[in-house]
Amino acid sequence: MPPHRLHGALSRRRFVTRLGTGALLTALSRPAHALVQSPEFPGPRGLVPPAPATNWSLSVGRRRITLDHKTLDAPCLNGTVPGPVLRWRQGDTVTLAVTNTLDEPTSIHWHGVRVPSAMDGVPGLSFDGIPPGETFTYRFRVHQSGTYWYHSHSGGQEQQGLYGAIVIDPATPDPNACERDYVILLSEWTDVSPRDIVSNLKMQDDYYVFRQRTAASFPREAREKGALAALKDRLAWSRMNMAATDIADVSGAIYTYILNGHAPDMNWTGLFHPGERVRLRFINGSSMTMFDVRIPGLEMLVVQADGNDVEPVPIDEFRIGVAETYDVIVQPKDARAYAIFAQSEDRTGFARGTLAPRAGMAPDLPPMDPRPVRTMVDMGMADMGMGDMKPGDGMPEMDGASPAHAHADMHAMDMPGMDMSGMDMRHDGQGSVAHPLEVDDPGPPPIGVENQNVAMMPIDRTGSPGDGLEDNGRRVLNYRQLRATRPGADPRPPSREIIMHLTGNMNRYIWGFNGRKFSESGPIRLRRGERVRFTLINDTMMEHPIHLHGLWSELENGQGAYAPYKHTIICQPGSKLSYLVTADVPGRWAFHCHLMYHMDLGMFRTVLVS
């Protein structure tokens, strides 16, 4: 605890430091002397440091922070939540000495940054973690540029505040340089311990869901689609022992959604002069929450996804999965305030901030959208048609052999279709079509303790913005719109396909791949240099942001050679997607769902490149 916090009087410094958890406006909103500049508190949240640096001395410690009446001794970097923005330059070798002053091991993982395996910061895969009282020095060459972030990979520290932004300047002039440049780091804040959250979910999977269908909500549903249809839909879900209202496992019931460490009432503000181009580097640093982001009145131009430049896409709204990043450019013309409005996917709360010509402005916030409701599409029964078939039909029979065949057939039938779109481009001029792949297909995952459902007919949903965002009258980003600004570095077609089913049992709160937890599975082995297609089939009814450490995931979204490079990809419920990976860095890499409690409870694999 810093000494000044022991003083009884509310000194100016203490006042500012306390507000430092949130309420400071940007540097431009106050004269610079009003800001405390200290190693513990390097500056207001969201500002990119003026210049890149190569040597960083970082300290992990606990600090008592209160946000929205929730007080927590948060593990954090250099005393703030989020931690400092680290600005590096492409091509530099950076040295980061991380000292652990906690009484438990810690670690820092550089999310999306291509580093040697030993520098990746995952205890048990990269290294042994950083023991209490010790310093671990990360040193690696920065090969890439763009917006990334860092977070702890130890226990629940990430949930509690050990995360922050990374901004890497390109070696060549940035095509998207703007007059203003802000990091917008979205995350959650709660005083409930991660262990308690998991324990509660183990006992009751809908512990944090207070938006279920009830008798009281029936009349409205009946008005919308007819009493009989509403009743049938309810019975269908009930028969499957599932809930159509299962959007997020942990909700605004305990989470305060924060933006750059500011609760909604603290209203983080970024300043602009009318006509300026403002770059907003959105990072979803939360543990369990997807955000739907918009700035009413401003068009956003998406210029970067997961640190990699994409052809600009003009949009009104986008969904940012846990651990994803999007850079957008806005150009406010009027001297008025604009709200940055980030609703949680389940609509139980929002993070908010403001872009304004001067400090202290608080624009009206739009109402929250209705919460999404899952449909049979999310169960992977999209093509079966609600009208022809009772949604629950076929579920109990799934252990049998025939659906397995149906699944295999489906797979065989639509994979080449998917291949063609991608392959055509890659094979132009070569006059050949894909040679047969070596395929690791686990088959439909067995229904059982660890798997509740098999998506009978998973569909490609990369063209959908996601549940709750379809047909909302706004231009909402979808994955197919992401087109890299330059062709991929590795034009080879994949020589192997690895199919992974995303599975889980919501009721028992167990998560995994192919019907197994981490502890029951082996590593995924890749040969060094190998070009592999990962195909994900989501058999669960929730989105999973799947993150592969150390190697790029080139999403096969129909953009051919210009497939976007990503580090985290949302696989929508009941859907199937694929991406290509070049295994060009040896070592042990983590491959997991970035929803923290899904990862912790088994949705995690080791990828071994050797």
Partner 1 sequence: MRALLLMGLSLLCACMAHAQTTQYHAADAPDAGTPSYIDGIMPVMDQGTWFHGILDALEGRYAPGNSDFRWDGEAWFGGDYNRLWLKTEGTVEKGRLHDGDHEALYSRAISRYFDIQGGVRVDLDDGPTRTWAAFGIQGLALYQFEMQATAYASDRGRFATRLEGSYDFLLTNRLILQPQAEFNIYTKADQGRGVGAGLSDVDAGLRLRYEAWRKFAPYIAVTYAGYFTQARRFAHERGDPTGSVRFTFGLRSWF
Tokens at 562, concatenated: 């210009």
Q: Which one, 139 or 239, has the nearer CB to partner 1?
A: 239
Q: How far is the CB of 434 from partner 1 (least distance, A)?
A: 7
Under DSSP, the state recorded for 238 is H
Q: Which one, 1 or 439, has the nearer CB to partner 1?
A: 439
Q: How far is the CB of 428 from partner 1 (least distance, A)?
A: 13
156-192 in b/e form (b: 16+ CB < 10 A) is bbbbbbbbbbbbbbbeeebebebebbbbbbbbbbbbb
Q: Which one, 3 or 436, has the nearer CB to partner 1?
A: 436
Q: Contact at 8 Å (CB) between 489 and 496?
A: no
Q: Which one, 262 or 411, has the nearer CB to partner 1?
A: 411
Coil/strand/helix, residue 447: coil
At residue 369, φ and ψ (nearest 5 deg) are: -75, 160
C-alpha pair distances (Å), 383 with each of 151, 319, 389, 392, 529 = 40, 25, 11, 14, 38
Q: Which one, 130 or 315, has the nearer CB to partner 1?
A: 130
Q: How far is the CB of 6 from partner 1 (least distance, A)?
A: 35
Q: How far is the CB of 242 from partner 1 (least distance, A)?
A: 9
- HSE at residue 458, side-chain half, CA atoms within 13 A, is 31
Q: How far is the CB of 603 from partner 1 (least distance, A)?
A: 9
Q: Which one, 88 or 511, has the nearer CB to partner 1?
A: 511
Q: Which one, 172 or 214, has the nearer CB to partner 1?
A: 214
Q: How far is the CB of 480 from partner 1 (least distance, A)?
A: 21
Q: Which one, 34 or 433, has the nearer CB to partner 1?
A: 433
Q: Which one, 113 or 510, has the nearer CB to partner 1?
A: 510
Query: How far apart, in whole angstroms, are the C-alpha atoms of residue 566 and residue 563?
Result: 9
Q: How far is the CB of 2 from partner 1 (least distance, A)?
A: 32
Q: State which H helix or E strand residue 412 sits in.
A: helix 401-426
- Parallel, antiparallel or unpaired: strands 325-330 and 317-320: unpaired
Q: Which one, 143 or 223, has the nearer CB to partner 1?
A: 223
Query: How far apart, in whole angstroms, are the C-alpha atoms of residue 364 and residue 488?
Result: 43
Q: How far is the CB of 606 from partner 1 (least distance, A)?
A: 4
Q: State which H helix or E strand residue 271 sits in.
A: strand 268-271
Neighbours of 251 (CB within 10 A): 24
51-81 in b/e form (b: 16+ CB < 10 A) is ebeeebebbbbbbebebbeeebebbbbbbbb
Q: Contact at 8 Å (CB) between 478 and 461?
A: no
**Exposed/middle/buried for 490, CB within 10 Å: 0-12, 13-18, 19+?**
middle
All residues at 6 or more sequence positions from 429 whose CB lies less than 8 Å from its CB, including other chains: none
Tokens at 453, concatenated: 């459902």
Q: How far is the CB of 344 from partner 1 (least distance, A)?
A: 17
Q: How far is the CB of 324 from partner 1 (least distance, A)?
A: 21
